[in-house]
Amino acid sequence: MSTLVVKDLTKTYLLRDGLRFSRLEAVKSVDFELTPGRTVALVGQSGSGKSTIAKLIAQLETPTSGTITLNGKPVGRRGRALAAYRDEVQMVFQDPFASLNPFHSIGHHLERPLLLHGKATKADVREKALALLERVNLSPAESFIDRKPHELSGGQRQRVAIARALAPEPSVLVADEPVSMLDVSVRLGVLNLLATLQREENLALLYITHDLATARHFSDEILVMYRGDVVERGPSDDVILNPQAEFTKQLLVAAPEPGTNPRFLAEATRRGVPMPDHLAALEETT
């Protein structure tokens, strides 16, 4: 399994206003590791730099300075090296409405990455696409594979997006605000799916969110970001129950249920959803 290390990561944008130029430091010398079987949460308000970090890791943006290494090797920026990196590192985007092409079927969205990444042949690609749908609890898969994205609910579309990210069989998964565009009633199911996949596939998971409650219950470590800087980090319970940074304290005060959100666990129990081990342990100590 793969370990991804971010070291001194910095991203500066050059902004132009007429004849004037200015610099915006979106990310400032950020360090962290993503290791197999563990979830790291990046928490912060809009504009804090957390989504920029996701794009840098996914190679959708180029760092101004700093390094991203996978298993000790620098990330390739083009050609086969970049393709090999994307075999290992995949991203789930925030908006399932925009991340799926409305003109193509669900099957197309899954079959294409399977073929591109060499995980299927033309002979067995449909069978493997069906298996991916079952993997994300879209069952029976045959009733989904030939439909278009607009025929699915928001939660179902996000499950398809997760299945697409799983197609290359990655070791690292970056989930950028994966439930913020979904109805509250379906968020728990998607979060539990990610937690279950993380445990069963031994994935290194980066969970990006503005929600401290879910960050606590669905991650092992939390990094709190403010204006491009990591202002606090540590084990999830420590950061939430004993915050040190003033900004973290302000986030907790602003949260509807500071530090914990038992509704997520209560709803999971009511639905009979199997809780991942680290969530069950938290439930016992909450």
For 234-270, the pLDDT digits (tens) are 999 999 889 899 888 888 877 654 334 444 444 444 4
For 185, counting Cβ atoms within 10 Å of its Cβ (0-12 exposed, 13-18 middle, 19+ buried), the class is exposed
Residue 145 covered by a domain: no
Lowest model confidence (mean pLDDT) among 45-59, 126-140, 253-267? 253-267
Q: Containing domain of residue 187, as a range?
A: 4-96+172-285
CATH number for the domain spanning 67: value is: 3.40.50.300
pLDDT value for 168: 95
Helical ranges in 93-180 per DSSP H: 106-116, 125-135, 154-166
Residue 185 covered by a domain: yes
Residue 272 covered by a domain: yes
The pair of structure tokens assigned to 192 is 């539990």
Q: How far is it, in rounded angstroms, from Cα 56 to Cα 77? A: 11
Lowest model confidence (mean pLDDT) among 39-43, 88-92, 132-136, 250-254? 250-254
pLDDT digits (tens, 9 = 90+) for 178-215: 998 888 888 889 999 999 999 999 999 999 998 888 89
Sheet with strand 39-43: strands edge to edge: 89-92, 172-176, 204-209, 39-43, 221-226, 229-235
Residue 101 covered by a domain: no
Q: How far is it, in rounded angstroms, from Cα 177 to Cα 41? A: 10
- The residue that leads in pLDDT, 268 or 35, is 35
Residue 59 covered by a domain: yes
What is the number of domains present in the chain?
A: 1
Beta bridge partners of 4: 34, 70
Residue 111 covered by a domain: no
Residue 147 covered by a domain: no
Residue 191 covered by a domain: yes
Indicate the residue type of 60: L
pLDDT digits (tens, 9 = 90+) for 144-165: 999 999 999 999 999 999 999 9
In 3-state terms, the chain is what percent helix, strand and coil (to 5)?
40, 25, 35
